[in-house]
Amino acid sequence: MHAVPLPNSVSSLTDRLHVLEFHWHGVGLQIPKFALYACVPNPTFTCFVQRHHRQIAIMEFGRYTLPILDPLEDDLDDQANFVAIVSVARGNRFGLYGFPADNQGQSFTLPLDHESVPRIVEYFI
């Protein structure tokens, strides 16, 4: 596995990665704390739409319209107890989207040189 360096804005602040865990249909989803924008309990989906042959949910969140994507890459057709809204930055582009969750798990930290860190952060940086 190739190493995915953390952004300097994150790695210069700590020597550990803070991870929040959510569960969707019994599968754990690990999200770096720096990527979590908000956790919305009892979310209300505005509608469901088809995108790239997948059904996704749309949620209105303030002035934002957010796509809610099934982390298992299935069609999303049921409500969730939580939505974990994550932020992603690519160059000068910024985006928000959400993952549904049945419940929140434990949070934990890992040293930045732990073998799992690249896998956990690569989706979010």
* 106: in domain: yes
pLDDT of residue 9: 60
* Residues 3, 41: Cα–Cα separation, whole Å: 34
* 2: in domain: no
pLDDT of residue 7: 62
What are the tens digits of pLDDT across the range 1-21?
445 565 666 555 678 999 999
For 81-114, give the secondary structure using H, E and C.
CEEEEEEEEECCEEEEEEEEECEEEEEEEEECCC
Q: List the pLDDT tens digit at each of the 125 positions of the chain.
A: 445 565 666 555 678 999 999 999 999 999 999 999 999 999 999 999 999 899 999 999 788 899 999 999 999 877 899 999 999 877 788 889 999 999 998 999 999 899 999 999 988 87
Residue 42, token pair as written in the block: 């009892």
pLDDT of residue 40: 94
- DSSP letter at 118 equals H
* 22: in domain: yes
* 88: in domain: yes
* 98: in domain: yes
Q: Give one DSSP letter per residue of 60-85, joined into a string.
A: EETTEEEEE--TTSS---S--SEEEE
Q: Give one DSSP letter per residue of 45-56, joined into a string.
A: --EEEEETTEEE
* 3: in domain: no
* Residues 32, 69: Cα–Cα separation, whole Å: 17
* Structural domain boundaries enclosing 30: 8-121
* 114: in domain: yes
* 39: in domain: yes
pLDDT of residue 125: 76
Number of domains in the chain: 1
β 36-41/27-32 pair status:
unpaired
